[in-house]
């Protein structure tokens, strides 16, 4: 029987295994680094139909988040306001600005302003804003310093493990309830008052769900 394979082929199986191992490792590392929410979502900064500037409205003018995102304290969604809310001021201020044309049209015709959604969770995840903002979790914890953003971008990964990081250790991210909508405030832990935070968690019976039923219905 003639020799089909050269002797060097003896090392081939080991080479293949090592190669596949390295390939797998590189693939896993690549996916972990490049294809997980922390990479894919953070920094997402789409162009919006209206160049709404949070740093001007929420930062400079000091408008409270809840003026526009009115349902955040009552419902699961923190709603994007109807054009009527914008027109509350913009019927008097910058009434002819071309940048606001979309808003004015929306108010008149009822056609919605097609805002691009930045923070998205899959359909099988049910997140509720009201239970967070009423229990000491500020907008800043999840959305970053929106009052300093000219164009809103996604600040955190909003992945399940990121949510669980806080759910498993809420005291680290809690702040005084009256500071929740003050985006320049700090968490109790950051102020060195971790003991107060833990007391808060205890007194208010803050028990964030860590089992599946908490968010998956």
The contact set with another protein (CB under 8 A) reads 34-35, 39-40, 46, 70-71, 73-77, 79-85, 106-117, 120, 122-124, 126, 128, 130-131, 134-135, 177, 203-205, 207, 209, 211-214, 216-217
Nearer to another protein, 60 or 161 (CB): 161
Nearer to another protein, 144 or 214 (CB): 214
Nearest-angstrom CA–CA distance, 217 and 208: 16
Q: How far is CA 19 from CA 23, 26, 103, 147, 172, in A?
A: 6, 10, 57, 49, 43
DSSP 120-147: ---TT----HHHHHTTT--HHHHH--GG
Nearest-angstrom CA–CA distance, 132 and 174: 10
The 8 Å CB, 24+ separation contacts for 75-79 are 75/128, 75/129, 75/130, 76/126, 76/127, 76/128, 76/129, 76/130, 77/129, 78/129
**What minimum distance in Å lies between the beta carbon of 159 and another protein?**
13
Closest to 201 in 3D by CA, of 179, 177, 182: 177
**What minimum distance in Å lies between the beta carbon of 215 and another protein?**
9
**What minimum distance in Å lies between the beta carbon of 87 and another protein?**
9
Nearer to another protein, 135 or 193 (CB): 135
Nearer to another protein, 74 or 94 (CB): 74
**What minimum distance in Å lies between the beta carbon of 128 and another protein?**
5
Nearer to another protein, 14 or 47 (CB): 47
**What minimum distance in Å lies between the beta carbon of 107 and another protein?**
5
């Amino acid at each position: 029987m003639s020799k089909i394979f050269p002797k060097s082929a003896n090392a081939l199986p080991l080479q293949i295994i090592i190669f596949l191992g390295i390939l797998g490792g590189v693939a896993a590392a690549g996916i972990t680094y490049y294809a997980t929410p922390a990479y894919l979502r953070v920094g997402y900064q789409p162009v919006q139909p209206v160049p709404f500037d949070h740093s001007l409205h929420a930062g400079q003018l000091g408008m409270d988040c809840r003026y526009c995102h009115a349902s955040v304290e009552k419902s699961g969604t923190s709603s994007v306001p109807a054009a009527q809310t914008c027109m509350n001021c913009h019927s008097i201020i910058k009434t002819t600005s071309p940048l606001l044309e979309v808003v004015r049209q929306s108010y008149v015709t009822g056609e919605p302003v097609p805002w691009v959604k930045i923070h998205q969770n899959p359909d099988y995840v049910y997140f509720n804003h009201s239970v967070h903002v009423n229990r000491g979790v500020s907008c800043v914890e999840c959305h970053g310093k929106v009052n300093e953003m000219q164009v809103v971008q996604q600040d955190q990964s909003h992945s399940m493990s990121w949510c669980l990081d806080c759910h498993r250790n809420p005291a680290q991210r809690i702040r005084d309830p009256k500071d929740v909508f003050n985006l320049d405030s700090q968490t109790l832990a950051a102020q060195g008052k971790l003991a107060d935070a833990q007391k808060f968690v205890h007194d208010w019976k803050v028990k964030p769900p860590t089992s599946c039923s908490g968010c998956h219905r």
